[in-house]
Amino acid sequence: MNLKDIDVNFDFTSDTKGFWDGFWERNDGLGSGGADPDSKSETLRLYSQLIWSKPLPNGELMELETGRSRFYLKWKDMYFGNDSITASFRYYRNRPLLEKVKSVVPDYHKFVETYLRKLYQIGGEVILPSAVGGINQTRGFRSDIRDRWDLTLECIRRYYLGEQSPLKDVLEKNKAFFDLFVNFKGYVDFFFFQDLVDQSCSKVLLWLDTPLFIKNPIPQTVNQYFDFINKEIDFVERRNQRIVDYISSQIL
């Protein structure tokens, strides 16, 4: 496979064996995949290897290798894994809100399955350094981040400015990785996150307008929930197009 063969609309749940098997029997009926596309989709691994193997802002060329047992993706002495940058907050403790969402959606199962297939496209994925207790795990466990990528990106913006954030410690542990992009704009441009920042790259455009880094910053109302999901879908579609434009520029 080459860059030109990438289909940005490919749904990575579709080649993740077991993802949809028994989906609605898990998580107390709220739905949960039987396998994780971030680690089990071979198409996602290959797409990531092809797309992110390119010149870095620091002047080096990232040429990712793919492996099976020891590593997912590797370059020099750095190991990377894929991480979904979207979230739907189908937590058991969030059931009261989800029950309200169910009451206004004609077919809740179809609603969830449809948006998951849209969010599990390449525009909804990013590579991060692999490590126990690394960026991916930390942003998921922090009660003031709750796996929100918009808040994670704000933490990365602050990292480059030397400012405090809930993820400051774990980002500093990955200094060698972030040095590859020189500054926040370099990081944003490399990974095609332009639609999540303003034109000057000085402000992150939040998907949910909560005060920064409050406890449990997830949607609290049905309208907020729909708005958050729709903003994620819109972002994935826009980022998919940026990836298409990049691929076209490389194969002309």
What token pair was written down for 216? 């449990």
pLDDT at res. 228 = 98
pLDDT at res. 1 = 82
pLDDT at res. 70 = 67
Share of the chain above pLDDT 70, in %: 98
Mean pLDDT of the chain: 96
Distance CA 125, CA 84 (A): 5
pLDDT at res. 200 = 97
The residue length of the chain stands at 252
**Mean pLDDT (whole number) for 185-213:** 97
In tens, the pLDDT along 90-114 reads 988 999 999 999 999 999 999 999 9
Q: Which residues contact 173 (CB under 8 A, 6 or more apart)?
A: 131, 134
Task: Give the lowest-confidence range in 66-75, 86-95, 194-203, 212-221.
Answer: 66-75
Query: Is it the case that residue 149 has pLDDT exceeding 70?
Result: yes
Decide: 76 and 50 in contact? Cβ < 8 Å.
Answer: no
pLDDT at res. 69 = 61
pLDDT at res. 53 = 98
Q: How far apart are the first and last CA of the chain?
A: 17
**Mean pLDDT (whole number) for 225-232:** 98
In tens, the pLDDT along 43-97 reads 999 999 999 999 999 999 999 998 766 689 999 999 999 999 999 999 889 999 9
pLDDT at res. 119 = 98
DSSP string for the chain: --GGG--TT--TTTTSTTSSTTGGGSGGGT---SS-HHHH-HHHHHHHHHHH-SB-TTS-B---EE-SSS-SEEETTEEEEEEE-------GGGHHHHHHHHHH-S-HHHHHHHHHHHHSSGGGEEEEE--TT-HHHHHHH-TTTTT-HHHHHHHHHHHHHT---TTHHHHHHTHHHHHTT-SHHHHHHHTT-GGGB-TTS-SB--SS-PPTT-SS-S--SHHHHHHHHHHHHHHHHHHHHHHHHHHHHHH-
**Mean pLDDT (whole number) for 165-181:** 98
Task: Please report which confidence band the pLDDT of residue 226 belongs to, taking 50, 70 and 90 as the band edges.
Answer: very high
Task: Please report which confidence band the pLDDT of residue 131 belongs to, taking 50, 70 and 90 as the band edges.
Answer: confident
